[in-house]
Every structure is written in structure tokens, then in C-alpha cells.
Structure 1
Amino acid sequence: MRFNPLAPPAVVVGALITACFMVTLCGVALYQSRDDAFARASETSRNVAVIAERDILRNFELYSLSLQAVIDGVRDPEIMALPARVRREVLFDRAASASYLGSMLVLDSTGRIALDSLSDTPPSLSFGDRRYFTIQRDNPNVGLYVSDPYTSRLRSGSPSIALSRRISARDGSFEGIAMVAIQLAYFHDLFSGLQLGGQGSIALIRDDGMMVMRQPFDPEIIGRNIGKASTFRKFLSAREGTFSDTSTIDGVRRLYYFKHLNGLPLIIMVAQGESDIYAAWTRRALIIGSLMATFAVAFVVLAAVLAAQLRRRMRAESELALLARIDGLTGLNNRRTLGEILDAEWRRARRTRNVFSLLFVDVDRFKAYNDAYGHQAGDDALAAVARCIGDNIRRPADSAARYGGEEFLVVLPDTAPQGALAIAENIRAAISNLGIEHAASEHGRVTASIGAAAWTPETDDDVTEVIRAADRALYDAKATGRNKVSVCDVHLALASAAGVQE
């Protein structure tokens, strides 16, 4: 039929195609700009986290080194024999007077203050009930421990966390701890200087879910355990990552970036509200989208029709391609596909010098079975045999094909003779265990004989030699009783053939 470019359907189709093109361009541009906004927000969150992380790690490293220096000094009898003022100056370096830092203390095995960085005469107080003390006392291998937020007893209730290290005697027994108190004001001031928009949030969380600090600041949240929150569970899924979720604290949906601090049981979290991230993009999308609304409906209808037609066509092509490669009766690869597989796997084995194994499977006395039970029963038996073969080759690289009639070929790349023999025996047993009656067989049921061959190919070798070797092994299995597996040594067979030719 001749096409009339002025016919109404042609005009409609032309209009729909034009609308589709315009909407697609619009959608791509909007999607890309949204991705750009997401990428910028992710990068901003990561940069903010890196700034906070470096500051925290630098300070914590100094505090950790100072604690270790105190422990080393406490273990030195000469230092401990010095006068109190000199000993304090030797044990506690200037890190003990840093901003936001409270007292650096040495507690004895009962938790009482033995040494104080701020005084030659330590106050008569005991901290034996503090978690940072008991965990070091009861666990020799804790290392540097970061405590829960607590109210200081030395600084008029100032919110703090403690870093502590265990002091052990030479025999490993507990002698006390060295600890330093860090005021939470340090984290509050650090985070408050990092701007993340009206819905933004930044937090430092211990890896057991304890909230150490959060901005925007709320004293009711500090010290709360958020271990059951969906956001926290995602923090534990990787060392670093980005995801979107809704906060259990204030119900705001945010883009989260998190990172576990190296060497510390702490997680830095930076989150930006999605409403802040996409605010400018949303305004732009509404304006552009309203201009394209007329074409959107036409585009959706056309896209649905085209998609349905495309799906039908792709399904039909896929089925045709499958039929061209698969044996219709058994569901295994056909002879043509087998040739492609053999060629590809043989070239790979020759290139890598890996062992290459083949199994030749032949149903015993199949002609007699067909004559006795009919061709339909014969087809059913072949299909059942094919299922047994397929069920016993598990690796993705292994494959099986119908070679012709009642013969099947199994390709086993990178499989040693012992492995090929084991697979062949499993296939033989599975076929025999089907229990399909075969009165004309000496075994009384449908069985199969299998010939196996393995070869590590050289540069000038041909895969047909392995096929012939497997066929010879199959002949041997049939000649010696059937329903058995026979293995052919390819290299001996080749040497024998060469001798006969000479």
C-alpha cells in the first residue's frame, strides 16, 4: 500500500514523534541536572566529613600518644621517684593543657586518682564506676577506649567523653588506667562551623550506636543510643558510603555520607536535607515541565505502544535465537552450538595450557528400546537422560549438547581426569537410577555408557583428537558390559595411532 504523508494517522504519528523527541531531551537535561545536584551534595558532604575527620584524628592521635607516654612514664621507677612537681611535668606534656581538654589522670586499680595533670596533689576521688575504667579493668585487649558522653565530676558537670588506656603490670595484671577527658564543646564548636543548609546535620557516633555529638545540637540527643535506627544499620554495612534515608530523630529525609574513622570506634556522619539539595532543581523542573506538559501525554501513549510492540518483537527474536541454538527435544545445546563451544573452549585451553575434558554419553541399546516401546517413549527417555546430564554439571563453564540420536557430549574445561571421571560416574548413576524399564537391556532398565578423555593441549593439537579419544573410551565401555564409565588416556592413544601409521 502506498504511504500518503498527508494522511491523518501520519500527521498524528509525526506529532507524537516530535513530542517524544522534545520530552526526551527535556527529561535528559533535567535528569542530568538532578544528578549534578546529587553529585555536588555528595562531594560537599564528603569534603565536610574529611575536614572534621582530619581535625578529630589529629587531636585524638596526640591524646593517644600522650596517654601512652604517661603509661610508659608510670612504668619507669626513676620517673616515679622524682618529686611530685617534676614528675607531673615529665609525665604530662603540653597536650594536657590544650583547649577543650580536661584533666589527664592516672587511676589506680581501684579507680582512685593516683596522678593528676593539673595538680601535684590529686583530689581524693574515685572513678571506679565509670565505664572507661571498668572496661579496661575487665578486658586486657581493649586498647584505646572512647567512652560514652558523661557529666564531669571535676569541671562542674561539663559534658565530656574520656579516652583511656590500660596500665598492666609485667605479669599482665591490672594496675589502673591512664585517661584524658575531652569536653563535648570541642565537637560542638567544630561542627557548628560547618554549614550544611537548613535541613543539614552532622554527627559523631560511636560504633555501638551511642550519639557523641550532633549538629543541630540538642542536649536530649547526646548520649542517646541509635543502634536500632535504619540509618545506623547502614553505617555498619561498609567503611564508607552514601545513601538516602529518613532520620529517626527528626523525620527529615536526607542524603547521608558516613565514614568510619581509622583506628577509632567512631563514625562521622554528614547529611544534607533532600529538600535543600533539590530546591533549585525543583523550581527549574517545574518551569520546564509545565512548558512540556502538552507533549508529555502524547509521549506517554506513544511510548507505551512502542514499548509493547518492542517487547513482543524482542521476545519473538529471543525465542527464535534460542530455538536455533537449543535441541528442541532435550533442551540441551544442539550440534551447531556444540561446535562453537568446543572451538572457544579448546582455544582457551590451548592458550592457558589448562586441562580439557570431554564426556561421550551414549544410551545403551536405544534402538531396541525404540522398537519395543515406541518413538514417543524413546523421546521421553532421551529427555530424562538429558535432565540427568544437566543436573550433574554445575559450573557455569561446563556445558552439554546432544551430539546426535542417543549420543550426548559434555564439555568440561579446566577439569582434571579425576574430576571428569567423578562427573561421568554421577551421570551414569543418575541415568541408571531413573529406573526406566528396558526389557531388551541386560540391565533391565535404561542405562548409558560413558567415555571420558582429558588432554592438556599443545599449540598444534586438534580438539577432534579428544573427541576421538572419548569415542574410543565409549566403545570400550560398551564392549566391556555397558552401563559403565571408561577413561581414555589421550596421549597413549595418540602414541598408539602414530605407531600403527609407522
Structure 2
Amino acid sequence: MVTAGVVIALMMVAICAVVLYQSRVDATERATDGLRNIAAMAEHDIERNFELYALSLQAAVDGVNDHEVMAASGRLRNIALFDRAATASYLGSMLVLDANGNIVFDAAGEVPRVANFADREYFRVHQQRSNVGLYVGHPYASRLRNGSLSIPLSRRISHTDGSFAGVVLLAIQLDYFRQLFSTLSLGNHGAMVLMQQDGTLIMRRPYDEKVIGRNVSNASTFKEHRQKVEGSFTDVSVIDGVRRLYYFKNLRNLPLTIIVAEAYSDIYAAWWQRTVTIAGVMLALAAAFIGLSFAFGLQLRCRMRAESKLAMLAQTDGLTGLHNRRTLGEILNQEWRRARRTRSMFSLLFVDIDWFKVYNDTYGHQAGDATLAAVAKCIGDNIRRPLDHAARYGGEEFIVVLPDTSPDGAIAMAENIRVAIADLGIEHSGSEFGRVTASIGAATWTPEQDSDVSAVVRVADQALYTAKATGRNKVELSMVQVG
């Protein structure tokens, strides 16, 4: 019962563990879907704005190459070149640079500011390569806006012969990306990164100005997202050491990658709280179930022991511990039928303590009970075969059932019992022998005889009477007669 209870409780705990594990998997999948949606939202916003900026750059290139635009007044020329781009949110500067890197047209006003950008990375790229198209450069600190961090978008201006004529520049303030990232929910320890495909960081949430422009191409997170267009992976950030679930997406039309990450501590926060509660309740229930199984098993065992004890008490004599008269009847019928079926000999001993009434009158009933118990033990100790049985017939009389026993075997058994009783040395002043003794009558039935078991009992009783009549403390054998 206890084993079954433990097994059932373990099965309950195992089922609970499987359900909780599946709940954990579901939490991971929900987090992945959420990160995918956030990356898609950021991608849509960035690509939409960059598309508008790219159109403004192309319009400026076309305007520079249009003689009518160039021949117009400064105000009209700026309107045609910059298409009011300077008024866009988070736009830093929009400039037209000549082949030497000097500002020739400035969206900020009709009179261009004085500065040279020939040393900038984007300028050198366009100067050296004619087929770059829209170029997204590395972050830099603006010289025109007191070091404000920006990212350049630029296009090449070429002469009619294809030679380098300058660059159209549009600077996007990094605060645009910072503000965009801040509107997206990523938990308390989430992170979001926009980087160029060479590993240069453009923006990161949590924001840290020190990491802007940093190259992380050697990081394992960078190696993961370079293998396919989009996907998810798990890693520990090289920046803050937090283990996160990452989802990356390489933008389709820009050389940029968005990486959105949520810390596992945030993903599993609700799951852990739910797991602790459910697991605690389940373990308590399992422990209670095992405890109840143990208690029930203990009660069942006690009941079985009580029933066994009652059954034994119903079958045995309370004073001597031998079979009682009721059980003796069952044994006699069972062994008699077996003897008749197998055609084997059947012997019976009738044991009676000599002058026992006198002993009780002399020494008292308590001493008499002790003597009965001692004699019964002698009888029981001399019965060694599993099929042999001894029972208290009544008062000071005992019967020994000896299946498959010959007359000689019955005599030998009876003599052993008689001697053992005498050797107890129990004082009996009312006996001519000075000690407690017993007379024994033996009877044997053979297969050739046609009798019932009651006849065997009567013959053994007659043999006992003969033993008492001829001197006591002796064994008498009688054969069952055919009748």
C-alpha cells in the first residue's frame, strides 16, 4: 500500500514537472514571438524613415546636376535641393560637399557654414568608389552641432564624365534610435541593438554612450546573426554579462541589423513564481498522499494482524497454545479424508495427566494452569512433522493427530511424550510417582478397516482408560477393529 502510494505520488510529481516544463517552453516561445514582433516594428519604422531620407538625398543629387536649379536664387535653390528635409525630426544636417570636402550648400540656410569633411569615412568611400549608391556610414560626433552623435547617410555626386564631384550628406541624430528603442517593452533587463553589418554598434538599449561606434564583430552574438537573415539564439552579452534570449533581423534594404533581447530572468519571472506555488502545493499533496498511504497501510496491517490474531485465537486454546477442540474437529476430518483417499495409516494419541484433580485441589488452580501449559509445551516440542497436530481436548486431556503413522511410530511418539512430561519434575504429592505424569492411549487405523474417525477416537480413549486402570504413567495401544 505504501509502495503504491509512493509510486502514485511520484507519478503526480512527474506529471506536474512535465506540465511546468512545457509551460517554460511556452514562455520561451511567447518571448521569441514577442521579440520577433518588436524587431519587425523597429525594422518598419527605420526603413520607412530611411526611405524618405534616401529620396531626399537623391533629390539633392538630381538638383545639383540640374542647371536650372543651380541658376536659381539661393532661397529657391535650397528649397529645390533639400525639399524641406531640414525640418524632419532628428535630422542633424543636410549638406552638399564639393570634391574637396567643403560645404557648398547647407539646408540650414542660404549661406553655407564653413567646414571641411574630406577626412570623414563616408567622403573617402564615395571619393574612391563610384557605385556605392546610398551609403550608411559609421557613427560620429558632429562638428557642426557640438559633438552630437549622428550617423551619416550619403550619396555621390558625379560629373557628366563620371568623375567625382562631391557628396550629398544627411546626418541622422542617434537620439532618433534611442527614442525609438525606449518606446518598445523589453522587460527590466532587456536589450536592443542596432548595428552595421561589419559589427559597428549604432545604438544600444540600455543606452551607454561609451559603446556607440564600438565594433563587436568578435562577439559570439555577432557570429550568430551573420549566418542567416533572421533567427533566435541564446547567449551572454559581452557588454553586461547578462544571459538573454536574442532575436536578430538583418534589414532587407539597409546594411543594418536589429538585435532584440530579453533577459531570461524577465522571461521566466512569472513562470518561476507560478512554478514555486504549483510545485509547493504538488509536493505538499504528494507528501500528504504518501503519509495517508502509510497511515492507511499501517491501519490495514494492524487490522490484518488483529484478524490474524483473532483467527488464531479462534483456532487455539488460550491457556496451552495448542489447537482447540473446534479446530481439532476440522483437522481430524481433513486428515481422515486424506488417509482414506491415499489409503495410508492414521494414528491418534489420547494424553491425560494423572491425578490432575487431586493436583488442583492440592496446589490450586493457578498451579494447575501452569502445569497444563508445561505439559502442552512438552507435547508440542515432540511433534516435529508438519502434518502432525496436537490439541487440547478438554480439561487435562490432549489429543495428538499422527497422519501416515504406523503403530510402532505411534508408540514411539507416545513414549517420548510420556517421558518428557515425567522429566519435567513437577512435584505432585498426590501421585504415587511424586511428580506429574501422564497416561497415553494410542490407536491406529489401517486402510483395510472400514471405520470412521470417531471410531479411532473411541479406541484411543479406551486405550487411555486401560493405561489408567493398569497403573498410569504408561502407554497403551489398541488397533481399530473392522466394523
**Alignment TM class, shorter chain as reference:** 0.5 to 0.7
Sort the Cα spacing of 1:295 and 1:233 in 2 relative to 1 into closer, same or farther, 3 A.
farther
1:203-242: CA deviation from partner (whole Å, max 9, x where unpaired) = 1111111110111111111111111111111111111111
Q: In 2, distance between residues paired with 1:249 and 1:224? A: 11
Give the structure 1 partner of residue 33 of structure 2: 43
Q: In 1, distance between residues paired with 2:80 and 2:274? A: 64
In structure 2, give the amino acid aligned to 1:209: G
Select which of 17, 32, 37 maps to 1:27.
17
Give the structure 2 partner of residue 221 of structure 1: 211
Q: In 1, distance between residues paired with 2:160 and 2:9? A: 82
User: Following TM superposition, by how much is the alpha carbon of 1:292 offset from its aligned partner in structure 2, in angstroms?
Assistant: 5.0
Structure 2 counterpart SS, 1:170: coil
Q: In 1, distance between residues paired with 2:143 and 2:99? A: 19
Instruction: Please say if 1:271 is aligned against 2:261.
Output: yes
User: Following TM superposition, by how much is the alpha carbon of 1:114 offset from its aligned partner in structure 2, in angstroms?
Assistant: 1.5
Query: Counterparts of 1:386-425 in structure 2 under 5 Å?
Result: none
Q: In 1, distance between residues paired with 2:114 and 2:189? A: 46
1:304-359: CA deviation from partner (whole Å, max 9, x where unpaired) = xxxxxxxxxxxxxxxxxxxxxxxxxxxxxxxxxxxxxxxxxxxxxxxxxxxxxxxx
Sort the Cα spacing of 1:95 and 1:124 in 2 relative to 1 into closer, same or farther, 3 A.
closer
What is the aligned residue count? Answer: 287
User: Following TM superposition, by how much is the alpha carbon of 1:284 offset from its aligned partner in structure 2, in angstroms?
Assistant: 2.2
Select which of 89, 98, 102 maps to 1:99.
89
1:261-308: CA deviation from partner (whole Å, max 9, x where unpaired) = 1211111111111001001111222333345559999xxxxxxxxxxx
Select which of 180, 188, 202 maps to 2:192.
202
Select which of 128, 131, 148 maps to 1:158.
148
Select which of 181, 188, 191 maps to 2:178.
188
Structure 1 counterpart SS, 2:16: helix
Query: Counterparts of 1:283-302 in structure 2 under 5 Å?
Result: 283-292=273-282
Q: In 1, distance between residues paired with 2:286 and 2:237? A: 35
Contact 1:20 1:295 in 2 (8 A): no
Give the structure 1 partner of residue 53 of structure 2: 63
Give the structure 1 partner of residue 233 of structure 2: 243
Q: In 2, distance between residues paired with 1:137 and 1:12? A: 85
Q: In 1, distance between residues paired with 2:49 and 2:237? A: 29
Contact 1:206 1:266 in 2 (8 A): yes
In structure 2, give the amino acid aligned to 1:116: D
Sort the Cα spacing of 1:120 and 1:237 in 2 relative to 1 into closer, same or farther, 3 A.
same
Q: In 2, distance between residues paired with 1:89 and 1:252? A: 49
1:399-453: CA deviation from partner (whole Å, max 9, x where unpaired) = xxxxxxxxxxxxxxxxxxxxxxxxxxxxxxxxxxxxxxxxxxxxxxxxxxxxxxx
Contact 1:46 1:257 in 2 (8 A): yes
Query: Counterparts of 1:87-166 in structure 2 under 5 Å?
Result: 87-166=77-156
1:136-178: CA deviation from partner (whole Å, max 9, x where unpaired) = 1112222211111111111121111110111122322211111
Sort the Cα spacing of 1:25 and 1:124 in 2 relative to 1 into closer, same or farther, 3 A.
same
Q: In 2, distance between residues paired with 1:183 and 1:33? A: 42
Instruction: Please say if 1:175 is aligned against 2:151.
Output: no
Structure 2 counterpart SS, 1:47: helix
Contact 2:57 2:168 in 1 (8 A): yes
Q: In 2, distance between residues paired with 1:156 and 1:294? A: 65
Structure 1 counterpart SS, 2:209: coil
Give the structure 1 partner of residue 347 of structure 2: none
Q: In 1, distance between residues paired with 2:256 and 2:19? A: 40
Identical residues among aligned pairs (%): 55
Q: In 1, distance between residues paired with 2:23 and 2:144? A: 54
In structure 2, give the amino acid aligned to 1:246: V
Q: In 1, distance between residues paired with 2:209 and 2:185? A: 20
Q: In 1, distance between residues paired with 2:131 and 2:24? A: 48
TM (normalized to structure 2)?
Answer: 0.57
In structure 1, give the amino acid aligned to 2:14: T
In structure 2, give the amino acid aligned to 1:159: L
Instruction: Please say if 1:233 is aligned against 2:230.
Output: no
Q: In 1, distance between residues paired with 2:123 and 2:159? A: 16
Q: In 2, distance between residues paired with 1:108 and 1:296? A: 81
Structure 1 counterpart SS, 2:208: coil
Structure 1 counterpart SS, 2:165: strand
Q: In 2, distance between residues paired with 1:141 and 1:296? A: 72
Q: In 2, distance between residues paired with 1:139 and 1:285? A: 59
Which blocks of at least 5 consecutive residues in structure 1 are unaligned? 1-10, 298-502
Select which of 72, 79, 101 maps to 1:82.
72
In structure 2, give the amino acid aligned to 1:162: P
Which blocks of at least 5 consecutive residues in structure 2 are unaligned? 288-483
Q: In angstroms, what is the RMSD of aligned CA positions? A: 2.0
Select which of 216, 232, 244 maps to 1:254.
244
Larger radius of gyration: 2
Contact 1:160 1:183 in 2 (8 A): yes
In structure 1, give the amino acid aligned to 2:204: R
User: Following TM superposition, by how much is the alpha carbon of 1:23 offset from its aligned partner in structure 2, in angstroms?
Assistant: 3.0
User: Following TM superposition, by how much is the alpha carbon of 1:13 offset from its aligned partner in structure 2, in angstroms?
Assistant: 6.5
Contact 2:85 2:107 in 1 (8 A): no
Structure 2 counterpart SS, 1:220: helix
In structure 2, give the amino acid aligned to 1:115: F
